Structure 1
Amino acid sequence: MCGGNKLICSKSDNVMGVGHIIGIVFFVAALATNIIAIATPGWLYSANAAVGLFQGLTGSTAVEIVRAAAENAAFAFSIIADVLLVVAIVAAAVASATDPVGLVEKLAGVMGILAGVSIMIGMAVYTGLRIAAVDFFLISWGYSFALGWASFCLALIGGIVALI
C-alpha cells in the first residue's frame, strides 16, 4: 500500500482518508436530521397543538395543514439540500477510492456547503415568516425546527471538512 516505508505515503496510497470518513459521517448525519425535520410535526408548539410542514397534531389527533409560503420554502430548500447531500455522500465515497487528484473530493465539499446554504435559506425563510406568531402568541419552536438548523450546521461542517 505505501511501499515499504509507512512514513512516505501519498494521499492516493490511502484507501480512505480520515477526512473522507469524517465528511461522509457529517453528510449522512445532516441528511438524516433533515429528513427527520421534514417528516415530523414538531416545528411549532402551543399549549395543545403541534404544527409541522405537512401535518399538525391537536391533542392526539393528526390533522392535515394547509401549507403557506413558510412551509413551502422550508420544504423546497430542504429537498434541494437532500439531493445535494446524496451527491456529496456519493462523491466523498468515490473520492476515497479513486480520486488521486482530489477533484471529486472538492466536489463533495462544495455540494455539502451548497446543501448547508440551501437548508439555511429554507430555515431562515420559515423563521422570518413565523417569528411574529412565535413572539405574539404562546407558541414556541419545536424539535423539528431545531433539527432543521442542526442539519444546516452538520452539512456546512461536512463540506468544510471534505474541502480540507
Structure 2
Amino acid sequence: MGILRLGSGGGLVFALIFDIIALSTPGWIYVNPSSCTNCDYAQGLFQNVSGNTTTETIRGDAEKVAISFQIMGDVILICAAIALCIGGGKKGQEVVGKVGGVLSFVAGIFIMIGVASYTGLYASFVEEKNVDWGYSFAFAWTASCICIIAAPLAFIDK
C-alpha cells in the first residue's frame, strides 16, 4: 500500500477544507479600526462585514479571478484526492496515484493563480499602514502549498 499517496490524499482533503473556508469567509482584507475612524471592516470575496452589518461585495477583477481559479482548483483537487486514495489503497493502481499527483500539482497552481492575482490587484491597497491581509487569505495560500507539496509525495511512493 502507498502510505505516502494515502497521506497525500488526506492532505488534499485538508487543502480542500482550507480553500472552502477561504472562499466562504469575509476575512481576506481587514482595516484596522485604531488608525482609521468609521472604517472597521473585513472584506471577502462574496461579502463585507462592517460592525454588525453584512453587505454583498461588489466583485471586481480581483474577486472574479480569485473565485473562478479557486473553484476550478477545488474541482481538480477533489479528483486528485480520489485518485491518490485509489492509487495508495490498492495494489497495482500506481498509475492512478501518479495521475492524482499531477492533478494535485495542477490544483495547487490554479489556487495559487487565483490568490496571486488577488494579491497583485490589492497589493497597493494593503500597503497602507492600516490594512492587513486576513485569515481567509492565509487559508487560501496554505491550501495552495499543501496541494503542491502533495504532488511529489505521490511520485516518490512505491
Are residue 73 (structure 1) and residue 74 (structure 2) matched? no
Are residue 133 (structure 1) and residue 125 (structure 2) matched? yes
Deviations 1:48-90 (CA, angstroms, capped at 9, x unpaired):
1000000000112111111010011111110011011100111
Give the whole-Å Cα distance in 1 for the aligned partners of 2:105 and 2:3. 19
Give the whole-Å Cα distance in 2 for the aligned partners of 1:99 and 1:117. 29
> Which runs of structure 1 show a deviation greater than 4 angstroms over 4 or more consecutive aligned residues?
none
In structure 1, the residue matched to 2:51 is: 59
1:93-104 pair list within 5 angstroms: 93-98=85-90, 100=92, 102-104=94-96
**Percent of counterpart pairs with the same letter?**
39
Are residue 35 (structure 1) and residue 13 (structure 2) matched? no
Q: CA RMSD in A?
A: 1.3
1:101-140 pair list within 5 angstroms: 102-136=94-128, 138-140=130-132
Are residue 89 (structure 1) and residue 78 (structure 2) matched? no
1:44 maps to a residue whose letter is I
- Could you list the runs of 5+ residues in structure 1 that have no partner in the other structure? 1-13
Give the whole-Å Cα distance in 2 for the aligned partners of 1:73 and 1:161. 29
| 144, 148, 159: which one aligns with 2:136 | 144
Give the whole-Å Cα distance in 1 for the aligned partners of 2:80 and 2:91. 14
User: Structure 2-normalised TM-score?
Assistant: 0.90
- Could you list the runs of 5+ residues in structure 2 that have no partner in the other structure? 34-39
User: Structure 1-normalised TM-score?
Assistant: 0.86
Aligned residues of 1:26 and 1:157 also touching (Cα < 8 A) = no
In structure 2, the residue matched to 1:159 is: 151
Give the whole-Å Cα distance in 2 for the aligned partners of 1:137 and 1:63. 24
If you compute each CA radius of gyration, which structure gives the higher value, 1 or 2? Answer: 1
